[in-house]
Amino acid sequence: MTATANSPRITQRPVRSGTATRRRAGAAVRIAVLVVGAAIMVTPFLYMLSTSFKSQAYVLTVPPQFIPNPATTDNYVQALTTQDFGLYFLNSSIVAVVSTALSVLISSMMAYGFARYRFAGRETLFRILLIGLVVPAMMLIIPQFIIAKFFGLIDSLGGLIVFYVAGSLALNTFLLRGFFASIPVELDQAMQVDGASAWTRYWRLALPLAKPALATATIFTFLSCWDEFAWALTIINNPQRRTLPIAIALFQGENATQWGLVFAASVIAVVPVIVVFLVFQRYFVQGLTSGAVKG
């Protein structure tokens, strides 16, 4: 009886050991792949950061130096004090912040309407909206320019904001509609019984529960507006209305490609993007955790 009772334990030990070994090996492979991928993604940024602290004489040294020696901050001083860089930074900030706020607000209202209300042509309108996801942005440059000229939006920050908002509505509405549709309808019905209007249900119920999706839409929209170059270059001729991507391009042309200066300006331009990502990533994780706890 004792031998029979112990025999399964003896046979199970190698199986468990082999399973644990395979799991550890799989985890090691995944970690190695992630480390290699992270290194590939981070290395260009580290080299840009390193080069921004080098003088022009040390930029193209072979082999490349990741630790600048000697290090200098002259590139940052020159970037911040020449060609109205501060004004371009302010212009980009205004355009990106206003465009992001309007796009997320409008697209969230549209997504809530598509997710919660039944009306004639709902699916047709939604599919027409999604066409914006498959049309390349460069194909719309000429039609957009004609429209902007007709409405007097050439050479203005308003011309950037209007078309940035219009260009981001399709993706944001698509993302938010799926999230709003996953919120139980019974919550809306309960608030409606208590006399809550459609706006109250949208503002006090749907938006707080949609923090993860709103954070994702905010990050995507801000990145696209902050980094956009082609449309800004097309309609902006006044130097007082230029944005940061145009300013960095001018550094490349007018300064005979001083890479230290260009990379210093690029590092400055990346800082707001990193800040926005970190702030809204925190809300993204907080929203997911809150939803998991509440069940």
Reply yes or no: is the peptide bond before residue 64 cis, omega within 30 of 0: no
Query: Domain 76-294 sits in which CATH superfamily?
Result: MetI-like (1.10.3720.10)
Q: Using the predicted structure, report yes or no on whether residue 50 has a pLDDT greater than 60.
A: yes
Confirm if 47 and 60 have CB atoms less than 8 A apart: no
Q: Rounded to the nearest 5 degrees, what angle is found at the Cα of 169, between the Cα atoms of 164 and 160?
A: 10
pLDDT, tens digit (0-9, with 9 covering 90-100), for 236-251: 999 899 999 988 888 7
Q: What is the pLDDT of residues 194-224, one digit of tens each?
A: 888 989 999 999 998 888 889 889 999 999 9
Q: Which residues contact 96 (CB under 8 A, 6 or more apart)?
A: 222, 225, 226, 272
Domain boundary assignment for the chain: 2-51, 76-294
Whether the predicted pLDDT of 16 surpasses 70: no
Within 8 A by CB and 6+ apart from 241, the residues are 91, 155, 156, 157
Mean pLDDT of 272-291: 71
How many whole angstroms separate alpha carbon 206 and alpha carbon 180?
7
| CA dist., res. 87 & res. 91, Å (int) | 6
- Tokens read off for 94: 């205004």
Q: Is the pLDDT of residue 13 over 70?
A: no
Using CB atoms within 10 A of its CB, is residue 72 exposed (0-12), middle (13-18) or buried (19+)? middle
